[in-house]
Structure 1
Amino acid sequence: MAAAVQQRLSELLSPLGFQCEPFLIGWYNAVMQPSFHLQYPDDTLAFVVLSMPQMFEKAFKPFIVGKQLSSVQDPIDDCVAHYFSLVKKNFSDQKIEAIHDFEMLPNRRPKVLVQSAAHVAGAAYYYQMKDVQKNPWGEKKMYGVCIHPRYGGWFAIRGVLIFPDVQAPSLEQKLPVDCVSTDEKKIQVLERFNLHWRDWTYRDIIDVEERYSEEQKQYFATPPAERFKLLGLKSDCSSMTSGGNQQSTTHGAL
């Protein structure tokens, strides 16, 4: 059942520049504090959804051109929400709970820590301070960052799709690729992400197959409130999610 669901998801989302990887709720809950647990049985099937570099051209630009938006909060978030809704329509025979990376609980905690979800699904390795053998930072907090084995940091984790009525107890867990192999490199990627994330050098911590296009780089390098000018859109909202620092709201323990 899990393989069939994954195939259908891939047929829908892969041509648009998304990657979907399965995991079980129990895998996620096992590495999270109870306050972050997802309230489903352990063998419930879920998928983490990542956007690859080509998503901007294959999904985002067609979405903007084909939809007359007179008032939006964040174009990228609206775009992902649009394609998640299409998934639900194409899975009319299944119940799907979609949780976006930007969604918060009333206490301002993220509804799901997508970096941890990506790690347990084997989609990307979530590098944290504990992965460094000799901690050079002392008591200073360094947030973790996910690195994709093919795209390095040139990707984003957009959310999870949960299938509450699908149990997949026989699903085998795939370990993420530890592609940042040395202690020195792990220190570099954490420092670059925490201290210099605006220069994007953390994204190239490994050799990558593809990066963001120049147009996409320009979009994400533009302050959020000014991105509407690039798209010819108007916004009634004074605050927006970042969109560019895609892992900014996904910090969590694994």
Structure 2
Amino acid sequence: MATYKSSGKLDLESPAVEFIEHLTRKKNHVSFFFAAVDLRFEVEPKDSETRAVTMSIHGNLTESYKTIKATFTVAPGEDMTASCLAYTFEFEKISHNIEDKKIVESLLTYISLSDVSYKRKFKHNSIDTGYPAEKYFKDFVNAFENDDEVEMGGVDWQKRTFTVSFISAPSMMENFETIKVTITIIPKKEGSRVKWSIEVEKIDDDTQEPDSFLFIACSIRETIQSKFGN
């Protein structure tokens, strides 16, 4: 049974101790780019002394592996306001699989977005609004139907969910063949919550560019926010 490892470093804006506490505040995490059934991350008990965190990785994308684990150690930067994350992914394979890079990129992107989220105090894949869910879903669908940069699909009025595929957004499409976003409006006691997931197909499957995922995640959030009040 083959074992594959991938190691590297990722610069963070957040202080080391605070970021580890932020990352491990909950046990289960879901990728921004895949549904929970396809890819999810589970935090194992951390080593408080070394700030080492291990995550077990599960989901449909991992079916060709016996186990996948990612271990992170975060070291403080020189000014103590930023830090550097050293990571190692260990794949214990059952059979050959080409999903290694997708899994690595997805978790590193989640780490990058968590870093930005901690600094800016917001979540990238949800927005709360004071509008009622039924009315807001109708307005949202109308707003995207009139957007020349996207193509609508899969509108489900009962579940208040739909998909948009970006077809004319040069700044976002530079590294991606397709970008599809699934948006759901969830009723709350007061108002509603807009949630979304992102699915992408890269032009070059051999490159690892977590920064490009971070860019489109921010751009998609801004696009969704721009529909407020339409």
TM-score bracket, normalised by the shorter chain, equals under 0.3
| Structure of larger gyration radius | 2
Q: Determine which structure has the larger helix proportion and give its number.
A: 1
Q: Flag the structure with more relative contact order, 1 or 2, with Cα contacts below 8 A and sequence separation at least 6.
A: 1
TM-score by length of 1: 0.25
